[in-house]
Structure 1
Amino acid sequence: MKYLRWFIWIALVASIVMHLATILAEPIYAWFTQPEFSQTELKKTDRKLDEQSLDEDEKPAELANVKPAEKQMVYLQPIAPKIAVEKPIVKTKQVASAAKSKSVLIDAVGKESASAVATQSITASEVQVASALTHAREVVASAPVQVNVATASAVQASRVATQIDTEASKRFPRVVEIGYYWTVFDARMTWKIEKDRYALQLKANPAGRHILYLSEGEINARNGVKPLRFADLSPGVDKAPKNEAVFDWGNDTARIGPPNNQKIEPIEPGDQDLLSAALHLAFMGSKHPSYEMALFSGRKRYPNAVFELKGEATLTLGTTKVDAVLMRAKWDDRQVDFWLAPQWNNLPVKMSINLGKDGGSFEVLAKEVSLDGRKVLEWIAPRDQQQRRP
């Protein structure tokens, strides 16, 4: 019995070790083999973040239903050569001969009648020549007008196409997926915009735990992001949230806390939750030099958070170097950093949230980015990368 008890304990410990090894083996391997994250020194910058647009409704009226062309071809009509028209020379000798013949044939008429007939013949010829000249002048005069109209149309089309391309580069993607490193674990943030509504999620599974944060609300070009609900759905989407913040903009109040113990806090235009703040800053860009707001978690309201552009640095994401600007809010013992990439519609490629004594601190770093189904940053397995941790 003594040896049997020892055997049971050893088997139990071995089972626990095997389960832990199964859960932690992949994260530990990724930690030791992933590229060393590097960041150039933060420096001051004059860079401005482009303000983003949502859709074609914000374009000028003449561009409302026009989509950018992949290839643009402009044809210029050559100027038509001028038609050289020379005034025919009336041969007087032939006219005189014709008149003399007519006078011979009409002996009975007399010299005055013959002269009248000859004069009438000459006048008819001049009328035909004048008509031909007038027609030629009209053709030549109309040709330059047609060419100018065609040229103007081509120039206008080129300007419209250029304006469309410029607008397209500032058009905020409607479907975004960003894969992050959450220390040694994976996290994924997705958001989707439909008309004037957005839904934003952050998922992670560190050490077997399930984490799911949700933010949803409204978005428009004038005011940016207006959250309606932030929730910690870690217990499960089909269960009551662990904590949440429900925004009532009609009454300028928010209910925060667990469903069975919520309290009322005031809200003002521009206030955000911890996730929507990143989306708001990315969308609004440098429209304002700073953004003052209250930040809401599911448990608490943090007033007087002021986000300012603190500088610029180059981040190494996997094997890709990306320039990013730092938007930081720091108050009391708390600090929130959003590193926004101008080349990717100001998306947050790195986020650091430190809520001090309230806990809830974490840091995530992008490893893959997809904009409207187009991958702009692709994750490469550590074994396929040249750079390794020492």
Structure 2
Amino acid sequence: MPERIYLDWNATTPLRPEARAAMTAAMDIAGNPSSVHAEGRQARRLMEDAREAAARAVGAAPRNVVFTSGGTEANALALNPGLRAPAGPVGRLLVSAIEHPSVLAGGQFPHDAIRTIPVTPSGVIDLEALHHMLADGPPALVSVMAANNETGALQPISEVADIVHAAGSLLHVDAIQAFGKIPFNIRDLGADLATVSAHKIGGPKGVGALILGAGAERLPPLLRGGGQERGRRAGTENVMGITGFGAALTTATTALEADRPRLERLRDRLETGLRSAGDAQVFAGDVPRLPNTTLFTACGMKAETAVIGFDLEGISVSSGSACSSGKVQASHVLRAMGVGSSAAQGAVRLSLGWSTQEADIDCAIEAWRKLSRTLIKRSDETVLERF
């Protein structure tokens, strides 16, 4: 059977060998990290090593790294109405229209306290709109992702931070998709809280972290019980997963300088090939993006059909649409960008990673060349002629 090509790295990444080795060794540690005996101290040491690695990677203090069960929990913990901004208690939540669903859900804020910040047609936050929204109301927690998971568009976090802090408010940055792909430093960017996830950088699924800046250290817990994570997140820590997370992020940050330009070259090669082979339209192509991400569409294409077509060619890609109870809906990101429903429902995402090679890109371009020739329109659905 021919070897498959994996081009869905933004959804999840393969486990890095370094993470696998670290987790395998941690499996033999019997102790609870809260226990004071030798076995407990051994488990605690593994966990604290990972905490220090995470802190170094994002420019934070180790005491302000809070391990969670993943990015969704980290976001829910961050979106906390119990936070206090410089201008007073946080009274509302402002989120950009292109955020991950775990942020759009609002965390612990009541629904009537949440407002949506619009974005430009290129998928970048509207800074003027943010400025006006902050001027009208009590101190806010503002949540803006560092990089969009669908289009790859980078957000102007430093500029957002300046606007937010000038209004006496706090900034949360969902860095889950950006971390490990581009440099990210919580101090340099001015974020008060940031969230990251292990399985986006070659670590295990089910592990994430909330990183606190100096202005958010007094974070009320979401899960109450024991005093783990300095009282910020109750529950016995996932030592094996956290250990794998630490190994993965150390490897990812070390390789970042070399990986970033290499992936950018491969992405550009891919997009040139997609355009020439089948008249593809790339979203957010006019703004800075993640080096590994391409979201594209073509006239008359249905995303689910194209994803199946790529899969039958041995290539794993993903759709820019979300399925809910069997009903395909256009991406909320593309809707926020003002993309028409036909183009949005045809959006397909290809995302690259550390093992992606030129040959993989060439195979994807050739697969698209064949698919674009056979995709036809029949009433309101797109089908593949040969299936």
Normalised to the residue count of structure 1, the TM-score between the two structures is 0.24
Higher helix share: 2
Q: RCO (CA 8 Å, sep 6+): is it higher in 1 or 2?
A: 2
